[in-house]
Homo-oligomer: A and B are copies of this chain.
């Protein structure tokens, strides 16, 4: 047998406009609610997987270094799922991110989208359809399913593994929306996203949140359809504050916001409300601000951000492409 069971894939991370926070099923990453995201053009993970019958165990390389810790174990557990369904051999996996580690960009989203795609492509038996690929990505990390499709994506939360899938709402050329990631801190999170999902699931405000989310989802989709920035911005900012509110008032309290985050939020609201600059923000489970505007205001927003946070790194994203298999192998 000389056929090489190797393939490479790339996938972009994504920023949630309606958030995934709280799971109903931890084995299959079934969320409490539907969510919506924009795929991030400049936050790309590239991964090569090589299945090798000679290997006695998986070999995982992240950013060029072999990892034997929790991160490697998580990749191997994911490969176990693929092995259950396909072959029973081990794999060599190499993965690199286009963006620096610890920036608060969800590397598990781009990471598991690229890993799932490369691992299945490497089997050489053809890829499952796009919907099934979103299932495979989600099994690795919930939000990874939103990194399979390009542009603007909806994750239909569903009830179980079969029904929890993502689908494209609009392609990248639908709307020139920009997402500036303002990297304020690279310190590791005091409370992991995994633990955060558990705290959220038992949070006393979660039931009320679920009750109004369906209306907010519809409104966000309407604003996306109409390219209505003011409506989208207000909805997305409110959503971000609501999820941060749940994080910080849980037991234990997860205060992902840093002083600099709050300082910039006040500054951004003042640019919008006092100076008329059409700019909004969202946040993930971390301190780094995601600043949203239309392409026509991107230069003005960039200048404001550079002046207000001169030491912060800025990563400017457009609606990104779909995850793809390609021949630029890392192994």
Contact = CB atoms under 8 A, between A and B. Distances in A.
- Copies of chain A in the complex: 2
A203 B25 CA distance: 28
A107 B260 CA distance: 30
A261 interface: yes
A257 B245 CA distance: 12
Contacts of A246: 245
A248 B266 CA distance: 12
Interface in A210-261: 211-212, 237-238, 241-242, 244-246, 248-249, 251, 253, 255, 257-261
Contacts of A208: 204-205, 207-208
Contact of A258 (B209, B244, B263): B263
Given A245-B248, A248-B244, A253 B238 contact: yes
A259 B251 contact: no
A249 B260 contact: no
A82 interface: no
Given A248-B244, A248-B245, A259 B263 contact: yes
Given A205-B205, A208-B204, A241 B253 contact: yes
A262 interface: yes
Interface of A: 204-205, 207-209, 211-212, 237-238, 241-242, 244-246, 248-249, 251, 253, 255, 257-263, 265-266, 269
27 contacts: A204-B208, A204-B209, A204-B211, A204-B212, A205-B205, A205-B245, A208-B208, A238-B249, A238-B251, A238-B253, A241-B253, A241-B255, A244-B248, A244-B249, A245-B245, A245-B246, A245-B248, A245-B249, A255-B262, A255-B266, A257-B262, A258-B262, A258-B263, A259-B259, A259-B260, A259-B263, A262-B262
Given A205-B245, A244-B248, A257-B262, 13 more contacts: A207-B208, A237-B253, A238-B249, A238-B253, A244-B245, A244-B249, A245-B246, A255-B262, A255-B265, A255-B266, A255-B269, A259-B266, A261-B262
